[in-house]
Structure formats: structure tokens, C-alpha cells
């Protein structure tokens, strides 16, 4: 998505640590690519949800994959170049 990221993971570390690492790496990369040194790239907050059942995981995966379609960015989820979901979650 152009203005936010959906990420579905089975964390092997504390979620704040994952978020901090991901935001730090991507902000540095974007800043160096686009000359945005010193500017904030990510908002401070993030929204996370614990998914407790296979059904919740599959429903969330479908929601994430279909998000660009719902927003009118592509006609089908397969056309979204940054989307991927493990085949067993489809």
C-alpha cells in the first residue's frame, strides 16, 4: 500500500523489537534512495493484533492480499507487485 504496510508474521522475537528493526532498516534505505536524510519516514505508533486460530490467520492473510484490490490500486491481487502469501494460508 502506498501509505501503510500490512505484515503477517509468526514472531520469534518480541514484536516491538521486530517493528523497530524493520522501521529502522526501511527508513534508512528509503532515505538513502530518495535523499530524505533527517526526515521522519514512519509514524511512531503501530497497530498489532494477536491471531489465535488458523481461521483468524487465514482471514487476515486474505484481507491483506485483497487490500490493494479494495483500494482500487489493481484489478486482482496477483497484479500487486509487493504482495505475497504462503500458499497454505490462501
The per-residue DSSP string of 2-60 comes to -S--------SS-HHHHHHHHHHHHHHHHHHHHT-TTS--S-S--------SHHHHHHH
Looking at the fold, whether 58 and 88 belong to one and the same domain comes out as yes
* 59 shares its domain with 89: yes
pLDDT digits (tens, 9 = 90+) for 7-59: 898 888 898 899 899 999 988 888 888 888 777 888 888 888 899 999 999 99
Mean pLDDT of 68-81: 92
**Structure confidence at residue 53 (pLDDT):** 95
Task: Specify whether 90 is located in the same domain as 55.
Answer: yes
Q: Which residue has the cell 534508512?
A: 28
Q: How many CB atoms lie within 10 A of CB 65?
A: 19
55 and 83 belong to one structural domain: yes
pLDDT (0 to 100) of residue 30: 87
31 and 56, same domain (yes or no): no
Decide: pTM greater than 0.85: no
Average pLDDT over residues 55-70: 93
Residues 36 and 55 in one domain: no
- In which domain, by residue range, is 6 found? 1-47
The mean pLDDT of 57-68, rounded to a whole number, is 92
Amino acid at each position: 500500500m502506498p501509505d501503510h504496510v500490512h505484515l503477517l508474521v509468526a514472531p520469534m522475537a518480541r514484536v516491538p523489537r521486530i517493528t523497530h528493526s524493520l522501521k529502522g532498516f526501511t527508513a534508512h534505505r528509503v532515505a538513502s534512495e530518495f535523499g530524505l536524510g533527517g526526515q521522519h519516514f514512519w509514524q511512531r505508533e503501530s497497530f498489532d493484533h494477536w491471531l489465535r486460530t488458523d481461521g483468524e490467520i487465514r482471514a487476515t492473510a486474505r484481507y491483506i492480499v485483497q487490500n490493494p484490490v479494495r483500494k482500487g490500486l489493481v484489478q486482482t491481487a496477483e497484479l500487486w507487485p509487493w504482495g505475497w502469501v504462503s500458499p497454505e494460508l490462501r
